[in-house]
Structure 1
Amino acid sequence: MATMNVSQSDELKQFTDTQAVTPSCGSSEEYLRECVRKQHAVERPRTTLLDGLNSGLGQVADDAFFAE
Structure 2
Amino acid sequence: MNTMNISLPAPMKSFVDEQVVGRGYGSCRAYIRELIRRDQDRQHLRGLLLEGGESDRAVTADPTYFDALRARVRRHPTE
**TM-score interval w.r.t. the shorter chain?**
0.5 to 0.7
Length-normalised TM-score, structure 1: 0.64
What corresponds to 2:35 in structure 1?
35
Q: Which deviates further from its counterpart, 2-11 or 40-49?
A: 40-49
SS in 2 for 1:21: helix
Deviation at 1:44, TM superposition (A): 1.1
Q: Which deviates further from its counterpart, 11-20 or 24-33?
A: 24-33
Task: Name the one with the larger helix percent.
Answer: 2
Q: Percent identity?
A: 34
Judged with a 3 Å threshold, the aligned counterparts in structure 2 of structure 1 residues 23 and 13 are, in CA distance, closer, same or farther, namely: closer
Judged with a 3 Å threshold, the aligned counterparts in structure 2 of structure 1 residues 10 and 23 are, in CA distance, closer, same or farther, namely: closer
Length-normalised TM-score, structure 2: 0.57
Correspondence 1:12 to 2:12: yes
The structure, 1 or 2, with the larger RCO (C-alpha pairs under 8 Å, 6+ apart) is 1
Q: Extract structure 1 runs of 4+ deviating beyond 2 A.
A: 47-54
Deviation at 1:2, TM superposition (A): 2.1
SS in 2 for 1:34: helix
Deviations 1:3-56 (A, max 9, x none): 2111110000000001001464111111011011111111112124435656xx
